[in-house]
Amino acid sequence: MSEAPNGRGALFAGGVAAVLASLCCLGPLVLVGVGVSGAWIGNLSVLEPYRPIFIAAALVALFFAWRQIFRPDAECKPGEVCAVPAVRTTYKIIFWLVAALVLIALAFPYIVPFFY
């Protein structure tokens, strides 16, 4: 017996993809900000060519999560996770936090030059 889809996996995938998309730019800035330095920090940009793939994966995962989390209450059967109002609210909050993380990943390369 399988559980009804609730968007948790898509949210997790979106968050991981957003972190990977911003790792090439955000990673060196965070390390320099906390005092870690060295020539090896330049190697962290090796993920830069894959950034569009990670962003696309994050957007696709967010779409599927949105489709599961923001579906009408009428589609939720009694006993499903989406039928519990507290769980729905928690998933919506997590969804918007992950969406903000993806937005940061999209905007970060354009904002980072102001910090160096």
Domain boundaries, the chain: 8-109
Residue 116: per-residue pLDDT: 67
Residue 26: per-residue pLDDT: 64
Mean pLDDT per block of 10 residues along the chain (116 residues) reads 58 72 65 68 68 80 83 74 80 86 79 75
pTM more than 0.75 = no
Residue 42: per-residue pLDDT: 61
Cβ atoms within 10 Å, residue 1: 2
Residue 107: per-residue pLDDT: 82
Burial of 26 (0-12, 13-18, 19+ CB in 10 A): middle
Q: Please give the Cα distance from 28 to 105 (Å, whole number).
A: 14
Residue 1: per-residue pLDDT: 40
